[in-house]
Amino acid sequence: MNCRNIYLGRTGDPLTLARYSLFIAEYQANGLVVPDGFDPKSVDARAALLLSSAPIPDEHLGDKPITVCQISEAYREHAQIYYANDPQMRGKIGRITKFIDEDYGSTEAAKFGPVKLESIRNRWVADGASRPYANSMTNLVFQMFKWAVGKEMVAIEVYDRLKTLAPLRRGKTEARETKAVVAVPIEYVRLTAKKLSPVLKAMLAVHVGTGMRPSELCSMKPIDIDRTGPVWIYRPSKHKNTNKGKTRVVPLVGDVREAVTNYINRPANAFLFSPIESVAWHIARKRAARKTKVQPSQLNRQPKENPKVAPGTCYTKDSYRRAIQRAAEDAGVPSWHPYQLRHLNLEEIADALTLEHAQAMGGHSDATTTRIYAKIAEKKAIEAANYAPRLGG
């Protein structure tokens, strides 16, 4: 089926509804075919007149059931605002709704049930999605329809029916399993650091010493660092448990503070660690290693105005991970990723001090999560086993 998306404006806006009404009229007058070269703005004059002179006609709206693609479009608009500072989540929602629209976009939302959602989930698995990732994608669909219930786009029975789709269980699905995350050996980290720019090396020092989540590390700003006391404290403005009203506290001591000090003198709302500076360092290093003289035309060459891949204003957890993995490859060590540093940090703290210390450092609201990182459950189980009663002979 050939489809064409026509953006008529924000959902619920009276001007959008007026445009829609006039568009439907042209669509029907043209034999149920979109007029060639139709531009939504071409009806704005008539739409304004319609709004000023009479109520918006609902003969084409009231009897039309809400479709799945209308819900997904409205949810994408909602995500642009709600997840304004989370491009990864916006991208994930975009991918999910694309799948849904391709298969069931024209389906009446009230008839979109667990069987249809399961068929979409099967597509994700067939495309290589892991079991946990497929479950997280499914949960986002639940979240989207729950939001639609709150906007009175669908009845709550639609959401309740969707929720009857059970998650994929380990060992009971063809979806691949992800490998358990383990701590990276500190020797690998030190060898990797030798291949990094000063900016990334500073990030690595902060990461090893704090065990922050990569997203918290990448979003560090001077305004979020309290330097009034003897110990500097980083309080991320946004973190995993922000919506739960939790405060995240990350002490910056020793070499972590030293690493931050070199980048703290920036505007209050600027990001500490800049990919632009890292790229500039790599370019300067390559020029210094040249065996032939740099020509004046090259020295005066201006950067491209619209390069295909321009460095951003800050690192993301993905760009940070890619930089680490490239450096690990250059260093000749097995590939590792930043989240393994979090495991390394929390395991060391739990072993040297207590689980409560690791929980505080990791910013976990539940000690059970800390045990996953610190391997405390296994250690406690072994200790318990040594004191368990014996049957004897």
DSSP 63: T
Q: Which of 256, 254, 270, 249 is nearest to 201 (CA)?
A: 256
Whether 295 contacts 240, CB under 8 Å: no
Q: Which of 288, 272, 270 is nearest to 280 (CA)?
A: 288
Distance of CA 155 to the CA centre of its chain: 29
DSSP 269: T
Contacts of 342 (CB under 8 A, 6+ apart): 207, 211, 212, 213, 362, 373
Whether 197 contacts 282, CB under 8 Å: yes
**pLDDT by residue, tens only, the chain of 393 residues:** 455 666 677 666 667 776 777 777 666 666 667 777 667 666 676 666 655 544 444 444 445 788 998 999 899 989 988 888 777 788 899 999 998 998 998 899 999 999 999 999 999 999 988 999 999 999 999 999 999 999 999 999 999 999 999 999 988 988 898 887 788 888 999 999 999 999 999 999 988 888 888 888 998 999 999 899 888 888 887 655 555 556 678 888 888 888 899 899 999 999 999 888 888 887 887 777 776 766 666 655 555 555 555 667 888 888 999 999 999 999 999 999 888 888 888 777 777 777 677 666 766 556 666 555 555 555 555 555 565 554 454
Distance CA 300, CA 29 (A): 60
What is the number of helices (H) and of strands (E) in the chain? 18, 3
Token representation of residue 18? 């007026």
Question: What is the residue-wise DSSP string for 324-354?
Answer: HHHHHHHHT-----THHHHHHHHHHHHHHS-
